Structure 1
């Protein structure tokens, strides 16, 4: 292995003739370039901060307003400021003593006033969600006027964070409405006696404790940017003491059918370079702000109009979840110039910049080749060190404080935790095998979800895994952001891979660098006591990993094309199909979680759509009684789909159930009040936890001309020990990829047989009788 380049800026020796000083010009050059890069980055951040701070205004707008005001004041001899200019002359300000200076000050004030008016008007416009009821081709007059005004007040050429100050705050629903919708959601899951009891608890809460808790929530909603997000991050994620591997972290897969190269180092070179390019665009706020994708609402054509919150992008890079005894914290660095790499039990620090620029793909490949060629053995305890991040949090926190808070262990840990992200050069091979579809994809999913339990640093914001045969994937920590944020990065990486390309031999394009310093091997000193803690954490992690059953279904019988031709929402259809599949599997319904976003509001994250509704249950029972498709059952399907879409709208617009109930529960704990209603609501298990992975940047993938460039999507572990985790991604018009997880230890679940078989039965029926839909 090529050891790290030891650049010494200067040396000196003392001689009888005095001090002999020797300068290393190359080292000084690198110091200069590094400082230049740092100052350029600071300037860009400052400029972006100014541009975002005055948006929807701009420097050009400032000049227009000030010059126009001064010209109007000079030639018309009028004072639109109503005497303010004259009063400024009495202020002890150098600028105010001159007539032109006073006009500049008033013009600047006018410009700021216009910005604040535009910003608040836009915030008011974005608080209206009546547009969700509109359909393509029949937009109401109010929606058309609203759409025109939103575009008018949105400004030109927004940057990533431009809309943050214009987004409305998440509203707090009334206790009465939340309790009513909650009772409606649990009605199909309870018998009459259970429902009457829960209704009584709800009424008591609504009348007595609820209004008091609501007052505190209202107060927080006026003061904080978002009344949910900080508590959600802290209590749902950071205070959890169990393993985050499987239970919290999730994964994303490579292309399903395309294998760009079998050279591991080359795939790493292009992937890492693409990620660093994305980070550079993120630092410069050059990524376009995400706009709401109205494809989730059938018939709507309001794309690129409604902005979503971008705050979650801030901690994508240079971020680590740091363990604590009682609660974890999120550590984020403003800048990091290196990545951390793991290979065969050794950790390496790899610099991403040289000569004041980002390393090119072939140069990164060169660094990865050096790591792969290194034959050194791991130091004692080093190989399985990352198992600490896979086990329970409290032992990891205590071990971190006892063994990694000083000396070279601290320096090595800092190199990992302060890295831009973590890379694993995996020594196994994973790939979709057309001759063994089920086994190959299931193995691939399990590898990305937990690996060997010690070859991923699960605390990092995300890990890139490059397998021995060139396949790659991603494992992400959940507390800092939700899956669509990581998905946006991953889409960029996959779309860049064909553009960067490979040589005929499978290497990255370009040349190696003759003077590039090699990776730095991290040197640990892990005591026997610490090694015992590592082994203990590994035992816990392996038991959890061995219990996870993963199954992937590339469903290509049909896709959203057929479903949309039936005038039905693809998401609603899939959710109803999953309910039918679960009922066939279990003979009963269960509390179902579908993740929805609330990023239409400032610092919004997610809300729950309770997909098991009375309307869906009516359809499922009708299908179970008679699987032939008739007009009556199709009507039930349409009613169930419309109900689901209405619930999705409510969740996105701040009228959901679960986040409100969660925050009421947190307030009750702060006040020392016990609520039988809230305690029972929050203890109900989600035995079917589902989420759609949206394809956000459709323009990056031409699936019509290149249908092979489809991703496998991603997945997560089951939320309940006796439940299922289901993730799905809708790709083009003829493919839906499903990721199903459960636990082997539960006699109630079988990922491989139950849900998938039942789903195929139902979708087959729809495919056969889809022509009947348009006659209803």
Structure 2
């Protein structure tokens, strides 16, 4: 192949006259351009590191401070070093112009750094105040307005993605007494009197005896570490799990619901991959804008973006690790049992969409058969972690297997050119969306590399989606990338009339590299064992995804109720109708108001919500009473959400206290019982973060379906929802077929009815409001 010859930089032949070197100028040119690209990237990273390190200062600000300081000293004929640098000399005799300049620059630099330090710490103090969260919707007090003005003043100009990291406050450790009180309050609706009194006794004993000792160690960690929760959460909740991460941990994101930009698989892959690589370039240059709350005034932590690309979860015997590469110039692609390495750069530039489509076309046209054991190799990442760790060490630590595995694990991300067709079908919406969700969640159990930070999955008919590993970051981070891709694909990159990517194929582009494997029979047995475990898990998952378009947040806001509180209360009503009882409920909330914050739990099954649900079950309750109880339940939910976001949640504190107790070898019946309680209803909202990218008023069809995840408990439900625009809410429900208590489709019907029943309490004229 011509491409193979171009990849060789030089050849040599030994002759009687000596060694005859045959240089390939094209290959040497590519090496030069590749090196130039790498050095440019290093320089940009160095520059961004400096800019972030001195933020909210800047080079122009440095010049202003130094020049102003030196001008002031010259005008008043002062010693620019204030007597510090040259105190041992007679200034009148020895202080030359050059010494004055050096002294002025040094002291001016110190003054500039001092100003930065003051601004950064002032901003940190301002961001530690969260009173703005308690303002009534639509009204802002004078004190909050003044606070917002000060935040803007101390935030500097033109911040980059990581500019605010050193200005974010640390996550506070709440008092043990407060956490125990809030826990008991959350547990009350789920226990009878005898159970509750017993738990009160355990909590009181813990609060008086072991708790203060554990709290001391936790406070010590909070003073020393950037975040007292995140590293333990990553290690013990994610990386130390020995079960499959497929279904149990990984989650998915769907394509557009109603729009199909092209039916050509290679073309859709070309645009999507190019858009993802453009996002990575912006990320490398820190050109992505920080995420804010409260009218772009309150910044959120950006630390989770650092490992989005070039990242893989590496299996271990007892705990996994996260491997992150600073740079990767290729992607790994899977199609019909074969793995390929595809370079993303040529001629010192990123491949264009039509050139990437060209590479995908070559892979799709490749008729070679998989090598023995290659087709189902990725099942190792879908099964239990320990067998995968042992197999990786035994069969993939040397030779061609190591080289091929490195090509996958060190790739920017993983791509699957799926040989099935998935999409929303209007004539059969339920079956089509359910199949789509299951395919993105687990596929065939061997056609996604579940260890990669994320997999781009492009189906045969041009539909696509993502499957993401959870340990490195939470769903909003990958959601930000996905919003960028969906907005770039049809609007900015576009397609030709025939459905291909815009542009022309490259005449000399080297083709994809087929990865080579030598997988022994013993390893193939391990692969089959992992595949059996993964298939059993995947076949048990009952997925149901549906768009709820009867109304959306626009109508809910007319009820003067938080849309999230409205939906969470509806979920409680639906669950009670579904199972005839309440359960411990998990709603994910973020703690990114603090440095390196991740998530906290909102225990949304409250006494107030349960009281409202019972009122909806009893026919004799009047509408006015139900509305009053609904308002109380919504206010309670909002308050719990605020507490979770501001570091006053329950579960992360108790989790860290439990970790400390294990390190100390102490046994706590209270902590053990609290952390063993199953979350039979696990919920999460997928926020739409970049609303400016989608004009849903003029183009309501360009809506994302959001994404979902597997059930957390064997007899429970997993529910994800995304509020899109004013009139649509997409739900994703999962459970297990093996549980006689659950049925995802039945629960979906209960959710729909609960939403309608709660809205009917307000007796709104929907047509008039719309």
Q: Shorter-chain TM-score: which interval?
A: over 0.9
Q: Say which SS state the counterpart of residue 744 (structure 2) adopts.
A: coil
After TM superposition, the structure 1 = structure 2 runs for residues 744-759 of structure 1, keeping only pairs within 5 Å, are: 744-753=737-746, 755-759=747-751
1:430 aligns with one of 415, 422, 440: 422
1:354 and 2:346 are equivalent in the alignment: yes
CA displacement at 1:90 relative to structure 2: 10
CA offsets 1:446-502 (integer angstroms, 9 cap, x no match): 000000000000000000000000000000000000000000000000000112111
Match of 2:10 in 1: 10
Q: Which residue is equivalent to 2:469?
A: 477
Count of aligned residue pairs for this structure pair = 762
**Range with greater deviation from structure 2 (721-730 or 623-632):** 623-632
Normalised TM-score (structure 2): 0.97
**Cα RMSD (Å) of the superposition?**
1.8
Q: Is residue 243 of structure 1 aligned with residue 244 of structure 2?
A: yes
SS of alignment partner, residue 217 of structure 1:
helix
SS at match of 2:473: coil
Is contact 1:558–1:767 with CA below 8 Å preserved after alignment?
no
Counterpart in the other structure of 1:298? none
Corresponding residue for 2:718?
725
- Report what 2:456 is aligned to: 464
Offset, 1:592: 0.1
1:159 matched to 2:160: yes
The aligned counterpart of 1:21 is 21
Structure-2 separation of matches of 1:407 and 1:697: 45
1:510-568: CA deviations, max 9, x gaps? Answer: 00000000000001000000000000000000000000000012000000000001110
Instruction: For 1:7 and 1:547, locate their aligned partners in 2 and report how far apart those are by CA, in whole Å.
Output: 47
Secondary structure, aligned partner of 1:14: strand
Change (3 A) 1:627 1:83: farther
The one-character-per-residue Cα deviations of 1:61-81 (angstroms, maximum 9, x if unpaired) are 000000000000011123586
> What is the SS of the residue equivalent to 2:299?
coil
2:4 and 2:510 in contact (8 A); partners too? yes
Contact 1:88 1:96 in 2 (8 A): no
Q: Deviation per CA, 1:355-390: give whole Å up to 9, x if none.
A: 000000000000000000000000000000000000
CA contact (8 A) 1:90 1:97 kept: no
C-alpha contact 2:120 2:167 (8 A) present in aligned 1: yes
Name the residue aligned to 2:736.
Answer: 743
In structure 2, distance between residues paired with 1:626 and 1:728: 29
Unmatched 5+ stretches in structure 2? none
CA distance in 1, matches of 2:200, 2:620: 35
Could you say if the C-alpha distance between residues 53 and 512 of structure 1 is closer, same or farther in structure 2, counting changes exceeding 3 Å? same
Residues 557, 68 of structure 1: CA spacing in aligned structure 2 closer, same or farther, 3 A cutoff?
A: same
Conserved 8 A contact 1:3-1:519: no
Q: Judge conservation of contact 1:262–1:470 (CA < 8 Å) in 2.
A: yes
Q: Describe the SS at the equivalent of 2:292.
A: coil
The CA distance in 2 between the partners of 1:602 and 1:401, in whole Å, is 36
- How far off its partner does 1:763 sit? 2.1
Superimposed CA distance per residue, residues 629-685 of structure 1 (whole angstroms, 9 cap, x where no aligned partner):
711101111110010000000000000000000000000000000000000000000
Cα distance, 1:440–1:750 mapped onto 2, change above 3 Å: same
Distance 1:79 1:143, change over 3 A: farther
Tell me which moved more, 707-716 or 72-81.
Answer: 72-81
Deviating more after overlay: 110-119 vs 12-21: 12-21
Report deviation, 1:19: 3.3
Deviation at 1:588, TM superposition (A): 0.8
**Cα distance, 1:627 vs. partner?**
8.5
Q: Are 1:3 and 1:520, in contact at CA under 8 Å, matched by a contact in 2?
A: no
Measured in 2, the distance between the counterparts of 1:607 and 1:62 equals 40
1:626-665 equivalences in 2 (<5 Å): 626=619, 630-665=623-658
Pairwise CA distance, 1:720: 0.3
Q: What is the rounded CA distance, in whole Å, between the counterparts of 2:200 and 2:625 in structure 1?
A: 32
Residue in structure 2 matched with residue 527 of structure 1 by the alignment: 520
**Which of 509, 520, 530 pairs up with 1:516?**
509
Q: Does 1:332 align with 2:324?
A: yes
Please state whether the residue corresponding to 1:350 is helix, strand or coil: strand
Decide whether the 8 Å contact of 1:383 with 1:454 is kept in 2. yes
Q: What's the counterpart of residue 706 of structure 1?
A: 699
Deviation string for 1:208-259 (max 9, x for gaps)? Answer: 0000000000000000000000000000000000000000000000000000
Q: Does the 8 A contact of 2:6 with 2:24 survive in 1?
A: no
Contact 1:417-1:460 at 8 Å conserved across structures:
yes
SS in 2 for 1:367: helix
Partner of 1:312: 304
| Cross-structure match for 2:33 | 33
Match of 1:409 in 2: 401
In 2, Cα distance between the equivalents of 1:5 and 1:575?
61
Separation (CA, whole Å) in 2 of partners of 1:635 and 1:234? 44
* Unpaired segments ≥5 residues, structure 1: 293-301
Q: Contact 2:333 / 2:340 at 8 angstroms: preserved in 1?
A: yes
Corresponding residue for residue 299 of structure 1: none
Alpha carbons of 1:18 and 1:713: their partners in 2 closer, same or farther (altered >3 Å)?
same
Contact 2:571 2:754 in 1 (8 A): no
- Provide the rounded CA distance (Å) in 2 between the counterparts of 1:443 and 1:757: 18
Counterpart contact for 1:701–1:709, Cα < 8 Å: yes
Matches for 1:198-347 after TM superposition, within 5 Å: 198-292=199-293, 302-347=294-339
Contact 2:600/2:644, CA 8 A, preserved across alignment: yes
Distance 2:725 2:306 in 1: 30
Q: Which residue of 1 aligns with 2:179?
A: 178
The CA distance in 2 between the partners of 1:338 and 1:135, in whole Å, is 50
Tell me which residue corresponds to 1:600.
593
Cα 1:97–1:503, aligned 2, differ >3 Å: closer, same or farther? closer
Please give the TM-score of this superposition, normalised by the length of structure 1: 0.96
CA distance 1:95–1:761, shift in 2 (3 Å): farther
Write out aligned runs for 1:488-637 (5 A). 488-498=480-490, 499-626=492-619, 630-637=623-630
Distance of 2:439 and 2:13 partners within structure 1:
55
CA shift, 1:144, in A, is 1.4
Contact kept, 8 Å, 2:6 with 2:27, in 1: the verdict is: no
What SS class does the counterpart of residue 553 from structure 1 fall into?
strand
Q: Is the 8 A contact 2:252 2:465 kept in 1?
A: yes
1:546, 1:188 → 2: CA distance?
34
State the 1:16 CA deviation: 3.3
